[in-house]
Amino acid sequence: MSTALACFLPEASDFIVPTQDQCYDLSQPLHCHTFINGLQALARELGVWIGVGIHELPTAAKDGEQLVKEAEAERKVFNSFVAIQPTGEVAETYRKVSSRVINGAYQRDE
């Protein structure tokens, strides 16, 4: 019997909604993201890496006030990949800036 070392979940694992406004309203900053907090506890419990795609709001501390205001005005969020260590700590995040969420579907910026 083998033991899993990692678990990878797809993009938008936190939720799928039909409109951009709903997406913005449900998104959270990474530091207090409810779904990520639960996955961090699960990673600690199982001792595995977890990789997951989520919707993430910018924060003034991390991104600056201007970006927060633009995101709010345009109702845009980050399509982020988060890598969680077996200790439950976030090891790395990657914001996929070439994509944006429109009506629940990912479309490429042109």
Domains of the chain, each with CATH number or no CATH:
6-99 (3.60.110.10)
Do 96 and 81 touch, CB atoms closer than 8 A?
yes
What pLDDT band is residue 102 in, cutting at 50, 70 and 90? Answer: very low
pLDDT at position 43: 97
Tokens 């003034």 belong to residue: 60
What pLDDT band is residue 46 in, cutting at 50, 70 and 90? Answer: very high
Confidence (pTM): 0.84
